Structure 1
Amino acid sequence: MNKKIINIAVIAHVDAGKSTLVDAFLSQSNVFRANEEVKEQVMDSNDQERERGITIYSKNCAIEYNGYKINIVDTPGHADFSSEVERIMKTVDTVILLVDSAEGPMPQTRFVLSKALELGLRPILLVNKIDKKDQRALEVVDEVLELFMELDANDEQIEFPSLFGTARDGIVQYSMEEKSDNLVPLFETIIKQVGNYPIELSEEPVQLQISSLAYDSFIGRLGIGRLFKGVLKEGQQVAISKNDGSVAKGKITGLFIYEGLKRVAVKEAQAGEIVVISGIGDLTIGDTVCEPDKIDALPPIVIEEPTMSMNFLVNTSPFAGRVGKYVTTRNIKERLDKELEVNVGLRVEALTDSSADGFKVLGRGELHLSVLIETMRREGFELGISRPEVVVRMDEKGQKLEPMEKVIIDVPTEFSGTVINKLNLRKGMMADMDSDGVRDKVTYHIPTRGLIGFKSEFTNDTRGEGVMVKSSIGYEEYKGKIEGRQNGTLVSMANGVTLPYALNNLEERGILFVGPQVEVYDGMIVGLHSRDNDLNVNPTTGKKLTNTRASGSDDSVKLTPPRKFTLEEALEFIEWDELVEVTPEDIRLRKKWLSENERKQHRNDPH
């Protein structure tokens, strides 16, 4: 008890080095044993986080420095997980704003910074990766200052301390000239900026706001949040003030704090600490835990609404149930209900279409939803996923509104004309353009709808040399119809195994998605047609055998390697009458209606 406590969050655009900085914090505060093997980005503990190289879930850890306990929150940098960032801001005393020394402030930097400034936090700027050849650290500081002014920062916030460093090497320095070999300048700046949490608040009645949820299979739902006032004890009877104003009673059966990377059980915790509590089953984000006779509720935490939806359907393909363990509506519902326990940016609704068996799942973007699909796939679920659709709203005048994105693209000058043309066709409006003669940096405001399916085209058009970053900028008036995919598909009209002879004949019709010796079914998409209509094909036909052989005509067939889709690419590719069939082993594309007759019946369906 009576420790000096400081809570900080690390915020930045994706790939600016947040998780690497947290690694450096942990290694320089002797959290690990001398013989302990330490992974890079140790806080990115989820499999998908490690594979994708991004932070998806905000996580806590704690370090000790000169008698201070510093609780650190590593936050996601991707716009789709901004609901995680919004809540965390309320639990910290200051934020370390990490900005790349070459890229400068990016769209997501603006979003996370605005949330911090709204809550009155005074950020510390750390310009990272100053060892880059193209670093322009001092210019970046000026750009960040301009961003603070644009976001109406107050006088105190504008006087932010600026530090420079290389998180990968665990180095932070006060200026570009003043060299260092550790993080001491950062630690000292944090202590000078914040000071320790007022000890006298520990003498007041308990006030704890839940900002994050977790689930433990042994002890149930866990509430994570900052203890603003009082001393919380294990076994204590409490009142829970809900977001709707109602009050419930409960008992703290388990109380935990963070030490290093571990969650440690304690008997009591003091004001200022980030704590984890168990024993209260219906906790939600924004609930305030108080003493039963002294209820002092904090303002509820408002989470921004979802902007995109997909239908999670029962897999109805002929291959359903072959490899998955969970294939029924009940299985899917139970899993989605479990996800809602901890994933507050998510909504689940029953489908209005009586012919479809599944649920409408709404989230903050394609990545937000595809991470959930990938998680379910690895757990043994089979699903049919529909095309992503944006969530449209109506204003007071009855006008249709749709979500908009700010997109910054950085492309070689030779490709910029193609990219600009495609963004214009997708109802984008150019906001800014800058060029150095070699690369062009273009800023667009574009409907979220217009970006569905654009990423793979962008990669192809720029030969992989283009960089695109985006962030949500709210809702605007509906921009009208946007043309979808220009090409039709090659659809299998037979059940069986693909043969090289048949595929060789189909190659002149378009790009194939399957190779030889692959099982296919009637209604499965096996390729992209070179024209704008769907074409029914038979990829299982073999060569008719005769008694005669001609010299040279029976040589082995040479096929072009088929195009393979990742989950995100498949979701972007499909149109309204198609589904992605997701199983633990395969990702297939199929028509919503498998038989040709059914497809003809639904050809003119509204979509």
Structure 2
Amino acid sequence: MDRHDARADQVLGEVFDLFIDLGAEEMALDFPAIYCSARDGWASLDANEHGTDMVPMLDAILDNFEAPNFDSEGPLQMQVATLDWNDFVGAIGIGRVSRGTIRRGREVTLISNDGKSTKGVIKELYHIEGMERKACDVVEAGDIACIAGVKGLGLGDTIACRENPEKMTSIEIEPPTMEMEFMVNDSPFAGKEGRFVTSRQVQERLLRAATMDPALHVNTSPTGGYLVAGRGVLHLGILIENMRREGYEFAVGSPKVLLKEVDGQIHEPFEAAQVDLPNDYVGKIIEFFSKREAEINDIHQHGSRTCIKMRLPTRALIGARTHVLTLSRGEGAVSSSLEGYGPRAADIEMRHRGSLVASDSGQVTAYSLVNLEDRGHFFVAPGEQVYAGMVVGENNKDKDITLNVVRAKKMTNVRASSKDNTEKVKAAHKMSLEQFLEYLDRDELLEVTPLGLRLRKRLMNEKARLRADKETAV
């Protein structure tokens, strides 16, 4: 409400349509509308009037939400809503106690989503106080409890009393749509920057992540690595970033979508996407998504901005957010949600440019970068260490080029008549983790370490790459 192009009535109508699409009951459609500005800290019941504080919203919560009615005397019932991990106590199940009372040291029954029951003992019990987790002996119905010591905890599992266990409704989890290969880092710089670098350490961390997040699936790769499936590049990127911060060193391959075979036909996941951007860049964005097999469903303007709704393959969204930001000069926003599976669309050319690959190992020199700057833009700066097979930049053309970025200027015993000019090198193009994952090609790997990210070819030997390209062409 604090923007000059606010469209409160239109958004209210979209929320109403969303409730109908979700099959909401008639009572749920009669909801109050509160007009707020989080930036300025006010709320109002009238779209044409600015409030002075947040009291109208707080009053609306008290008036429209009934106080929860919990039975503290009944048999215990609690559903695990999320999971955490502690190196001392292991898996920690977090959820609200729906019925009864939970105590430290009490024997309970764990009922998994598939209905299997196992016995366990609550060895550690915590409750949430503000932003902190504090140890306690008892948590009553209505409060959030954190339990540890029960083996086999999973998302959606029910913690029930031992005498009369009752299962709660299972939590449905969306299946993964994208897969990446995790493997041990075998580059020349392997083991120099990470604390956990072995295959066993990486495997244990991935299996622990799969236990904490059921939307992650981990399988063994035929090449000796691990295939990790998740719900998109962002989901997998969060796992990679968490592992990097914890001190793990590893390599990942390019993301690829998970396909299904339905009635003998290959199906792939599709997304319902929405792009919001200034009116001046609509043509460029439509042209970009049209090349990625997108079906434009709706285009409407609201003031100086335009909203484009479309349906497109999930793989078409890889790198799309970065391109939208570039084409709209940082003013575009992309949001999407899984729509389901459909017949596989045509092939999409994800990258239109090749890579600049280092031919020699050593320290990057300004002299070599200045002489090669017409080939493309570089990811490395003078003084950085590189190795043969490492991707050091992006080519202006659609083919890979191997070049020497460590070549130094030859020294002579002839004195120049004028002083040497300082070499002026263009700034290196630095990319974030998400941008690297979107940029990765099928024959490349991303080297992830606590200190940085490096792009490299799967086959670091140039002759081996040429041989593989010939075999692929045949």
**TM-score, normalization: structure 2?**
0.93
Match of 1:103? Answer: none
The 8 Å contact of residues 321 and 333 in structure 2, kept in 1 or not, is answered as no
Match of 1:251? Answer: 121
The 8 Å contact of residues 84 and 92 in structure 2, kept in 1 or not, is answered as yes
After TM superposition, the structure 1 = structure 2 runs for residues 402-481 of structure 1, keeping only pairs within 5 Å, are: 402-435=268-301, 438-481=304-347
Match of 1:601? Answer: 467
RMSD: 2.3
CA distance in 2 between partners of 1:293 and 1:178 (Å): 58
Please tell me the residue identity of whatever aligns with 2:455: L
In the alignment, structure 1 residue 387 sits paired with structure 2 residue 254: yes
The 8 Å contact of residues 391 and 403 in structure 1, kept in 2 or not, is answered as yes
The Cα shift of 1:309 comes to 1.3
Please tell me the residue identity of whatever aligns with 1:165: C
Do the aligned partners of residues 233 and 498 (structure 1) sit closer, same or farther apart at CA in structure 2, a change above 3 Å counting? Answer: closer
SS in 1 for 2:210: helix
The Cα shift of 1:174 comes to 3.5
Match of 1:219? Answer: 89
Match of 1:483? Answer: 349
* Residue-pair matches, total: 473
CA distance in 1 between partners of 2:160 and 2:331 (Å): 54
Match of 2:395? Answer: 529
Aligned mate of 2:448, from 575, 582, 606: 582
Match of 1:80? Answer: none
Match of 1:543? Answer: 409
The Cα shift of 1:560 comes to 1.3
CA distance in 2 between partners of 1:469 and 1:235 (Å): 46
The Cα shift of 1:554 comes to 4.3
CA distance in 2 between partners of 1:419 and 1:498 (Å): 37
The Cα shift of 1:346 comes to 1.2
Deviations 1:194-242 (A, max 9, x none): 322335x333222212121122333332211222222333332222222
Match of 2:243? Answer: 376
The 8 Å contact of residues 220 and 281 in structure 1, kept in 2 or not, is answered as no
Identity of aligned residues (%): 38
Match of 1:329? Answer: 199
Match of 1:278? Answer: 148
Please tell me the residue identity of whatever aligns with 2:66: G
Aligned mate of 1:195, from 55, 66, 79: 66
Aligned mate of 2:373, from 482, 503, 507: 507
The Cα shift of 1:552 comes to 5.7
SS in 1 for 2:469: coil
Please tell me the residue identity of whatever aligns with 1:358: G
Do the aligned partners of residues 280 and 568 (structure 1) sit closer, same or farther apart at CA in structure 2, a change above 3 Å counting? Answer: same
The Cα shift of 1:279 comes to 2.3
Do the aligned partners of residues 604 and 475 (structure 1) sit closer, same or farther apart at CA in structure 2, a change above 3 Å counting? Answer: farther
CA distance in 2 between partners of 1:326 and 1:605 (Å): 36
The 8 Å contact of residues 407 and 445 in structure 1, kept in 2 or not, is answered as yes
Do the aligned partners of residues 589 and 157 (structure 1) sit closer, same or farther apart at CA in structure 2, a change above 3 Å counting? Answer: same
Do the aligned partners of residues 205 and 303 (structure 1) sit closer, same or farther apart at CA in structure 2, a change above 3 Å counting? Answer: same
SS in 2 for 1:419: helix
Aligned mate of 2:227, from 335, 339, 360: 360
Do the aligned partners of residues 227 and 343 (structure 1) sit closer, same or farther apart at CA in structure 2, a change above 3 Å counting? Answer: same
CA distance in 2 between partners of 1:135 and 1:438 (Å): 11
Aligned mate of 1:231, from 101, 104, 111: 101
The Cα shift of 1:312 comes to 1.2
Please tell me the residue identity of whatever aligns with 2:307: K
CA distance in 1 between partners of 2:49 and 2:13 (Å): 19
The 8 Å contact of residues 233 and 255 in structure 1, kept in 2 or not, is answered as yes
CA distance in 1 between partners of 2:62 and 2:472 (Å): 61
Please tell me the residue identity of whatever aligns with 2:17: E
CA distance in 2 between partners of 1:182 and 1:605 (Å): 69
Aligned mate of 2:13, from 121, 142, 146: 142
CA distance in 2 between partners of 1:274 and 1:131 (Å): 36
After TM superposition, the structure 1 = structure 2 runs for residues 73-92 of structure 1, keeping only pairs within 5 Å, are: none
Match of 2:174? Answer: 304
Aligned mate of 1:351, from 190, 215, 221: 221
Please tell me the residue identity of whatever aligns with 1:484: M
Deviations 1:386-416 (A, max 9, x none): 1111111222x13211111222223333432
SS in 2 for 1:162: coil
Do the aligned partners of residues 605 and 250 (structure 1) sit closer, same or farther apart at CA in structure 2, a change above 3 Å counting? Answer: farther
Match of 2:30? Answer: 159
SS in 2 for 1:203: coil
Deviations 1:342-394 (A, max 9, x none): 223211110023xxx42111111111111211121122221111111111122
Please tell me the residue identity of whatever aligns with 1:132: R
The 8 Å contact of residues 5 and 303 in structure 2, kept in 1 or not, is answered as no
The Cα shift of 1:149 comes to 2.3
Match of 1:290? Answer: 160
CA distance in 2 between partners of 1:501 and 1:554 (Å): 12
SS in 1 for 2:81: strand
Match of 1:316? Answer: 186
The 8 Å contact of residues 299 and 308 in structure 2, kept in 1 or not, is answered as yes
CA distance in 2 between partners of 1:257 and 1:242 (Å): 23
CA distance in 1 between partners of 2:303 and 2:10 (Å): 20
Ranges in structure 2 where 5+ consecutive residues have no aligned partner: none
Runs of 4+ in 1 over 6 A off after TM superposition: none
Please tell me the residue identity of whatever aligns with 2:77: Q
- Segment drifting more, 146-155 vs 168-177: 168-177
CA distance in 1 between partners of 2:447 and 2:138 (Å): 50
The Cα shift of 1:289 comes to 1.7
The 8 Å contact of residues 216 and 228 in structure 2, kept in 1 or not, is answered as yes
- Segment drifting more, 415-424 vs 178-187: 178-187
The Cα shift of 1:183 comes to 4.1
CA distance in 1 between partners of 2:18 and 2:453 (Å): 42
The Cα shift of 1:500 comes to 1.7
The Cα shift of 1:458 comes to 2.4
In the alignment, structure 1 residue 520 sits paired with structure 2 residue 391: no
After TM superposition, the structure 1 = structure 2 runs for residues 26-41 of structure 1, keeping only pairs within 5 Å, are: none
SS in 1 for 2:75: coil
The 8 Å contact of residues 257 and 263 in structure 1, kept in 2 or not, is answered as yes
The 8 Å contact of residues 155 and 212 in structure 2, kept in 1 or not, is answered as no
- Segment drifting more, 270-279 vs 578-587: 270-279
The Cα shift of 1:549 comes to 5.4
